[in-house]
Amino acid sequence: MQKIKRMPSPKTKQVVLGVCGSIAAYKAGDIIRRLQDAHCEVTVIMTREAERFITPLTLSSLSGRAVHSDMFDKDSWRMAHIELARSAELVLIAPATANVIGKLANGVSDDLLTTFVITTRAPIFIAPAMNDEMYANRIVKDNCAKLKKYGFKFIEPVKGKLACGTTGIGHLAEVEDIVGVVAKW
C-alpha cells in the first residue's frame, strides 16, 4: 500500500482589520471572508463611527473572533492595543476615513484603532474611502503623503459611485484588489 503524502497546510497570517465610519464599512464582511480564503485569521478593530454602519456582531460572526472597539472594555487590564499589536503580522484599514488618516498622520491616538496602529510594528495598509472632494482636499493629500513617507502602504480608491450620489475618485478599491495586495505581502 502506498503511503499518501499530505501537503502541509499553508501558514495562516494574523491580520488585524481596522474598520472606520464610512458607508463602505459594509464591505468589511466580504474583506474578512476573502482574507480567510487567502489563509488569514482576521481580528477586527472598529471605530465607534463604524458601528453606526455595520454591527460588531456581524463582523464577529464572520471572523469567528471577538470584535474590539473600546479602549476600556471589561478586560481593559489586558491592554488590548498592546496584545493586538504584538500578535498582528499585517494591518489593513479598510475603509479608512479622512478622520483616521488625519489622526494617524499627526500622531493622535485617542481610540483603540489609532492607539493600536501607533503601537504595532506590522506593515500597515490603508484603503481610503470618502467623498471625491474630501479625497482631493490638500490636507487629506498631505496626510496621505506623510503616512507614505512613514512606510504606510496605500491601496488607492477608485472612480465609482459615491454615497452622496456623485461619481468620482474616493470609492473604496474593489475587495478582490484589496485582498490581492494584502495576500501577496
State how far the Cα of 18 lies from the Cα of 114, in Å rounded to an integer: 9
Cell of 57: 456582531
Name the DSSP class of 15: E
| Active-site residue identified among 20, 40, 144, 164 | 164
Helix, strand, coil fractions of the chain, as percent rounded to 5: 45, 20, 35
State how far the Cα of 113 lies from the Cα of 181, in Å rounded to an integer: 21
- Tell me which residue of 86, 90, 104, 106 sits closest to 47, measured CA to CA: 104
Cell of 146: 506623510
- Tell me which residue of 90, 154, 161, 105 sits closest to 131, measured CA to CA: 161
Q: Measure CA 54 to chain center.
A: 14
Residue 144 falls in the annotated catalytic set: no
Residue with cell 504606510: 152
State how far the Cα of 173 lies from the Cα of 185, in Å rounded to an integer: 17
Catalytic residue numbers, as ranges? 164
